[in-house]
Chains A and B, each alone.
Chain A
Amino acid sequence: AQTVTQSQPEMSVQEAETVTLSCTYDTSESNYYLFWYKQPPSRQMILVIRQEAYKQQNATENRFSVNFQKAAKSFSLKISDSQLGDTAMYFCAFMKQGAQKLVFGQGTRLTINP
């Protein structure tokens, strides 16, 4: 069974700083997908970024980028120029190819301070 681990329960940075959230996973699969979801205080889950395991190039979405290290089974999220609206719970998630279930990590509560 796949597991996803987020080792940072909480993080706090100042506005405009860069912050990196860590995520590691355990799987014997070679083809899979990784996601970062954001859950702001409204509790609405929002997809931030996704990565296909077969792609070596790290995914980027505006201020959000990932550092995908397949051999190390690591999938960290970097938020550049952090904004107050980035304050949220962030969940790392795994899905193996051909499956439909998402496996979530425990989450990291990120607070951006003014």
Chain B
Amino acid sequence: GAVVSQHPSRVICKSGTSVKIECRSLDFQATTMFWYRQFPKKSLMLMATSNEGSKATYEQGVEKDKFLINHASLTLSTLTVTSAHPEDSSFYICSAVPGLAPNYGYTFGSGTRLTVV
């Protein structure tokens, strides 16, 4: 089945530094990937839509300069949290659509727990 690999699973960084999270589709090509943020015991909040070869589309209220997204290939999207602050600490999840049929459901990565100290 379709597998999405997300790395790292956990990261701790110092305030003011940047951290990169990778999302890879292992056995399929994904022209579109999605990045979510999830607060404890809350639902998933869509941050941005990552499009291969073009600029990402950010949801309202998401700072594009803080959350840099690069979708350089059909199997890799990266989210870089720049100048991280403690309030950026959260659980970040990516997802991708196998094939051209999003209505069959997305495949999600296992998530990254970011802690900014």
Contacts and interface: CB of A to CB of B under 8 A. Distances in A.
B56 to A, nearest CB: 13
Interface string A77-114: 00000000000010100010101111011110100000
A33 interface: yes
Interface residues of A, number: 23
A91 B111 CA distance: 16
Interface stretch (B11-19, B67-75, B80-88, B89-97): B89-97
Nearest to A45: B108
B103 A33 contact: yes
A45 B2 CA distance: 13
B102 A100 contact: yes
Nearest to A89: B41
B49 A100 contact: yes
A106 B110 CA distance: 19
Nearest to A100: B102
Contact of A101 (B41, B46, B110): B46
Interface of B: 32, 34, 38, 41-44, 46, 49, 91, 93, 95, 97, 102-108, 110-111
